[in-house]
Amino acid sequence: MEECTDALIAYFEVELPKLDISYQWTIPNIKGFAHSGEKGYEPNVKLKKYFNQQWKKAATDEGEQLRLAKVIVADWGGVKGNKTDTLKRYVEELNNGIPATPLKGVASYSKIFSIVDPNEYAIYDARVAACLNAVQWNAGVKRGLAFNYISGRNKVTGDATQKRGFAHQTPFKVKSLVANDWQRIKRDDTYQVYLDLLKRCLVHFTEYDMRDLEMILFANAEKECEKALSIHQLR
């Protein structure tokens, strides 16, 4: 964990001041949100705060929370395949206390969790997973943390259907990283290890929050994966 943490802290020191420029995700049409269609860091932070406020208003209404969960995961997050019962389980677990955090479903439930409690949770998706490993690789880490990938469709970070991109190249597969002395993370421990890592980094960045660190990883995923692929080709 220590070498990985040091690499991420050094990375965030450089990249956090650029967050306004690097994060350019366009907000889809979200009913009731005045900044739909805008892109960039500030509008997206406003959207996350808007969702959080709406969730608090629905504190005693599980039906409304489920509706919001669908908007967060499908409309905003773009993950369309979840069944209503699956989303309902995520909401119920969150309301009942400490929820289960397996690798399966993390791209969906972490979006909900990060909205409900942004001080404790952050999004873990295919782009973030790939960026975590790429940043360590690019920093020359010798004994890194090999974060488990999840299915994605990005041709740079990893396209599961075509088996192309960073996550599917042999040097960057988890088994290859582990063979090169990186630490294996149990699949169902992945999300908790990720959260612990971000919290360790945040000690050095008191003016930022967990959301900012995750947004850097999301925004820079393609750039860092392309850099890693280029470095490997030169070796």
Q: In the predicted model, is pLDDT for residue 55 greater than 80? A: yes
Better pLDDT: 25 or 232:
25
- 187 with 148: CB under 8 angstroms? yes
**Residue linked to tokens 């892109």:** 39
Q: In the predicted model, is pLDDT for residue 191 greater than 70? A: yes
Report the alpha-carbon distance of residue 130 to residue 223 in Å, rounded. Answer: 11
Summarize pLDDT for 2-28 with one digit per residue, the tens. Answer: 999 999 999 999 999 999 999 999 999
Q: In the predicted model, is pLDDT for residue 90 greater than 80? A: yes
Report percent pLDDT > 70 for the chain. 99
Global pTM reads 0.95
For 204-221, the DSSP string reads T-TTS-HHHHHHHHHHTH
- 157 with 127: CB under 8 angstroms? yes
Summarize pLDDT for 105-126 with one digit per residue, the tens. Answer: 999 999 999 999 999 999 999 9
Buried-exposed string 25-45: b where 16+ CB fall within 10 A, e elsewhere: eebeebeebeeeeeebbebbb
Q: Residue 115 corresponds to which tokens in the numbers above?
A: 């909205």
Report the alpha-carbon distance of residue 114 to residue 132 in Å, rounded. Answer: 18
**What average pLDDT score do residues 72-97 get?**
92
Q: Residue 121 corresponds to which tokens in the numbers above?
A: 């949770």
E-assigned strands of the chain? 145-146, 153-154, 158-159, 183-184
**What average pLDDT score do residues 165-181 get?**
97
Give the per-residue pLDDT at 102: 97
Give the per-residue pLDDT at 151: 94
Q: In the predicted model, is pLDDT for residue 234 greater than 80? A: no
Distances (CA, A) of 167 to 33, 81, 191, 228: 35, 22, 17, 11
Domain boundaries along the sequence of the chain: 2-21+124-234, 29-116
> What is the maximal distance between C-alpha atoms in the chain?
58
